[in-house]
């Protein structure tokens, strides 16, 4: 088939550790990147602005969370709060006259600081207790944002993002906003893949898999858990800022409420823990599938194929969506990324059938 392991020889250690050692994988990545870059040419503004753009940003958010949950194995159920800190910090910094580039970094840094401070307290507990501690962060941050007018701009207020430019490029038009979001998603993807193949990522996976064995080989578990919180929170903070500036173009507390955190966890789980492609697939699943299902059911309804009551019509997409989440996780608990991996491996050894690990 088009995938081939035979004939791929590595004579240098660098080549053996390349991100995509197989040529077919490289071509796939190049093709996808080219499609993403050319998207404004063939996608209507509606699709670009309300599907592809948020997909990229939520993928970046899922990548941030999967670094923490998938690689380091630390559950975080308050990640929307981290993104909120980034978004609010960045918006206040730009309003204070700071350049947008610095405000993005500042959003990341403040999210990282506050996120790590919570991590410092929360990491004394593990598992379900850590979930509770991070939930506490979500509610605390929500409360502070809503009740401190200096942050939220008053009760029920919406802060509009000021006009900004990114290294001379005005972030106003749809295409500029899309490319900024795409650039960030690509940067995070490359970063995440690099983390996976370096000592930092190995230390995180070691703590996730067997913390005592990690300690006996010299890994300070607390330090690396904290580093994971710091890195993921920074990524999440910048992503939150980009979500505000590129997609919503305003911030309100509801954009970062508890159910957003749950959606993020769903993206990471459905996509496949600790994988880059899983973050994209998971974000796409959680974000786009409900829309697709709604349109599909509506189309079937208007075509007269689906003759049910209006009430059921409204709920049918949600029912199918929920069933699909359960179905996919039952079919492959390791998520969409694992399904993709199985297909890839099938072609890798075709026409033979082994290697179904």
Partner 1 sequence: MSEAGILDCSNVSRWFGGVHALQDVSISVTKGEIFGLVGPNGSGKTTLVNAITGFYPPQEGTIRFEGNDITGMKPFRIAKSGIARTFQNVALFRGMSVLDNILMGRHIYMRPNPLAALFYPWWAGREEVAHRKEVEEVIDLLQLESVRDEHVDVIPLGIQKRVELARALSAEPRLLVLDEPMAGMNQEEKEYMVRFILDAQEQLGVTVLIIEHHMDVVTAICNRILVLNNGEPIAMGPPAEAIADPAVVEAYIGGKRDAA
Q: Can you give the binding site for partner 1, defined by CB under 8 A?
A: 13-14, 17, 191, 194-195, 197-203, 205-206, 208-210, 212-221, 224, 227, 230-231, 274, 357
Q: Which is nearer to partner 1, 202 or 249 (CB)?
A: 202
Tell me the DSSP string of 183-242: HHHHHHHHHHHHHHTSHHHHHHHHHHH-HHHHHHTT--HHHHHHHHHHHHHHHHHHHHHH
Residue 248 to residues 57, 177, 264, Cα–Cα distance (Å)? 11, 11, 17
**CA-wise closest residue to 52 among 349, 291, 296:** 291
Judging by DSSP bridges, how do beta strands 250-251 and 169-170 pair with one another?
A: unpaired
CA distance between the termini of the chain:
20
CB of residue 49 to partner 1, shortest distance in Å: 30
CB of residue 16 to partner 1, shortest distance in Å: 8
Integer Cα distance of 278 and 65 in angstroms? 12
The neighbour count for residue 326, using CB atoms within 10 Å, is 9
Q: Which is nearer to partner 1, 212 or 352 (CB)?
A: 212
CB of residue 196 to partner 1, shortest distance in Å: 9
Q: Residue holding tokens 């179905």?
A: 327
Q: Which is nearer to partner 1, 92 or 208 (CB)?
A: 208
Q: Which is nearer to partner 1, 38 or 190 (CB)?
A: 190
Q: Which is nearer to partner 1, 176 or 193 (CB)?
A: 193
Integer Cα distance of 84 and 68 in angstroms? 17
Q: Which is nearer to partner 1, 205 or 251 (CB)?
A: 205
What are the φ/ψ torsions at residue 159 (nearest 5 degrees)? Answer: -95, 120
The neighbour count for residue 217, using CB atoms within 10 Å, is 10
Q: Which is nearer to partner 1, 37 or 217 (CB)?
A: 217
């Amino acid at each position: 088939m088009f995938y081939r392991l035979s004939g791929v020889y590595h004579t240098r250690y660098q080549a053996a550790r390349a991100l995509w050692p197989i040529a077919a994988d490289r071509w796939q990545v190049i093709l996808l990147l080219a499609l993403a870059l050319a998207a404004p040419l063939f996608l209507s503004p509606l699709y670009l602005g309300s599907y592809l753009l948020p997909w990229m940003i939520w993928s970046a958010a899922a990548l941030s969370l999967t670094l923490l949950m998938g690689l380091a194995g630390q559950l975080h159920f308050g990640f929307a709060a981290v993104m909120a800190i980034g978004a609010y910090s960045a918006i206040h910094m730009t309003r204070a006259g700071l350049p947008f580039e610095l405000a993005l970094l500042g959003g990341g840094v403040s999210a990282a600081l506050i996120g790590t401070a919570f991590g410092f307290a929360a990491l004394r507990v593990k598992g379900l207790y850590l979930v509770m501690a991070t939930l506490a962060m979500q509610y605390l941050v929500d409360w502070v944002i809503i009740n401190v007018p200096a942050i939220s701009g008053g009760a029920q207020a919406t802060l509009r993002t000021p006009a900004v430019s990114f290294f001379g490029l005005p972030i106003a038009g749809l295409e500029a906003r899309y490319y900024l979001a795409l650039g960030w998603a690509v940067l995070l993807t490359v970063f995440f893949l690099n983390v996976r193949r370096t000592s930092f990522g190995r230390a995180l996976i070691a703590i996730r898999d067997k913390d005592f064995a990690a300690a006996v080989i010299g890994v300070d578990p607390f330090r690396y858990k904290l580093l994971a919180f710091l890195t993921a929170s920074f990524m999440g903070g910048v992503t939150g800022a980009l979500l505000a500036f590129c997609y919503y173009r305003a911030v309100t507390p509801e954009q970062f409420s508890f159910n957003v955190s749950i959606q993020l966890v769903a993206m990471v789980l459905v996509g496949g823990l600790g994988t880059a492609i899983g973050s994209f697939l998971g974000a796409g699943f959680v974000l786009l599938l409900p829309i697709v299902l709604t349109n599909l059911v509506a189309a079937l309804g208007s075509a007269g194929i689906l003759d049910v009551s209006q009430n059921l019509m409204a709920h049918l997409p949600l029912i199918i969506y929920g069933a699909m989440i359960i179905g996919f996780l039952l079919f492959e608990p390791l998520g969409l990324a694992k399904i993709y991996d199985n297909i890839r491996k099938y072609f890798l050894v075709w026409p033979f059938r082994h290697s179904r690990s």
